[in-house]
Amino acid sequence: MTFRFSVNNPYSITNTGQTHLYDFKQFMKSSSPTGPGWTVSKSGDGLAAFSSTGDIITSSGSGAGGLGNTNAWFVLQEPNGQREFLWQRGASSGSWVILYSYSARFTGGAAATRPSATDAVVVLGSTSNPATAAASSHFSTSFNSIFHFGANDADGYSFFYGGYAQSYITSNNNATACMFFDELQSGTYNDGYETDPRIIYIAGGNSSNNYNVASVSSNTTSTDVSRVVGFLYKGTIYESFGTISGLGYVVNHGNASAAGTGTGYACVPGFVGMDLFTKKDIVLPIFYARRGTDNVGAGGFKGVGKYLKYKATSRPYGTTISVVSHNDYIIMGDLAFPFSGGEAQF
């Protein structure tokens, strides 16, 4: 595998969201080595243009062929042709629906009506019903931002978009969109049983918990807030799609109750420091699991994420760290994202 990147993309407050996602779409469509080589399999501009076979979204603006029209949408299909994601713009540039089809793929649709898939599930939207899901806040519309795109051009086709406020306005950094579609590390899930070893971290534009362990580890049942989602026990009678918590590493500090549920203190992310052998930063894997009592579906262990990591030591947004190679990760919130090796801009 090779991660491909488009980093340090600046976005003004004008038309935020639609400009981010237009550039993201273009990046994802680019052939390796520029991008990962996904395909837009169908699209509609929310007005009159529609294609059941390709991409008619040709600009980030409004009007014909624009992603800036209410209900404009596109479907990205991974290079092996199996999985598809659909993004549809809501009534504002910061507001989106995101659906996921594991293998049935999206069919139908019209210029202003998104297609459907028999196995579609809601990644972001105001209901859990893919047919009726309405747009939810995804991108902040209150500040300029810097965004980075990354995607694996082979292997599990992981990808992400994420960023922070321009000019390093600290209070805004964690208030905008993020999506990370990550595969799981081989050997950490049920090889031979698990058919969708993937998780999706989705962060919306209305939460101060974005990019933080609070949202990654959330056990919410809501579909329009920041969280990790995925299938658990896909293909079995226990199958469910919904929140799967990315667990934090916690110690008791000596204050825990006998039942083990007493006050816990975060260890990872952020509190174990650098590697003092090598004087380098480290990143640590994220374990994904769901309790049976979380009311999402059957509980269980999903697996360990492959590319999205927790930071081990406290670092501010936009800090690049060198774990294996120079600047191969960038810190955003509590998370470490793969990075291009370059310098991050603010």
Partner 1 sequence: MTYRFNVNNVITGSGISGNDGDIVVYNFKTFMKSASPSGPGWTVTRSGDGLAAFSSTGDVITSSGTGANGIGNTNSWFVLQSPNGSRQILWQRGTANSSWVILYSKGSLFTGGTASSRATATDAAVVLGSTTDPSTAAGSTHFSTTTKIVHYGADDTDGYSFYYAGYHQTTLATSAGGLYFDEVIPLDTNIDNDYYIFFVNAGNSTNEWTTQGLGAENSLANTFRVAAWLYAGTPFQTFGITPGAQWRSNGTNNVVIPGSISQNLYTLRDIAFPIFYCHRNGPVFTNTFDTVGFKGVGMYMMQKGNSLATASTMSINFLRDYIVIGDCVLPFNGSVPST
Shortest Cβ 136–partner 1 spacing (Å): 20
**Of residues 271, 319, 322, 327, which one binds partner 1 by CB under 8 A?**
271
Shortest Cβ 185–partner 1 spacing (Å): 13
**Of residues 59, 264, 319, 322, which one binds partner 1 by CB under 8 A?**
264
- In order of 69, 76, 107, 138, 209, the CA distances from 54 in angstroms are 18, 10, 12, 25, 36
By CB under 8 A, residue 78 contacts partner 1: no
By CB under 8 A, residue 316 contacts partner 1: no
Instruction: CB nearer to partner 1: give 169 or 284.
Output: 284
Site string for partner 1, 162-201 (x = CB under 8 A): ----------------------------x--xx-------
By CB under 8 A, residue 245 contacts partner 1: yes
Q: Which residues sit opposite 35 in a β-bridge?
A: none
| C-alpha–C-alpha distance, residues 162 and 148, integer Å | 6
Contact between 246 and 201 under an 8 Å Cβ cutoff? The reply is: yes
Stated as kind and residue range, the H or E segment containing 20 is: helix 18-29
DSSP summary character for residue 297: S
Shortest Cβ 139–partner 1 spacing (Å): 24
| C-alpha–C-alpha distance, residues 48 and 39, integer Å | 21
Instruction: CB nearer to partner 1: give 188 or 320.
Output: 188
Return residues touching partner 1 (CB under 8 A).
Answer: 190, 193-194, 213-214, 217-219, 233, 236, 238, 245, 247-254, 256, 258, 260-268, 271-278, 282, 284, 287, 289-294, 298-301, 312, 314
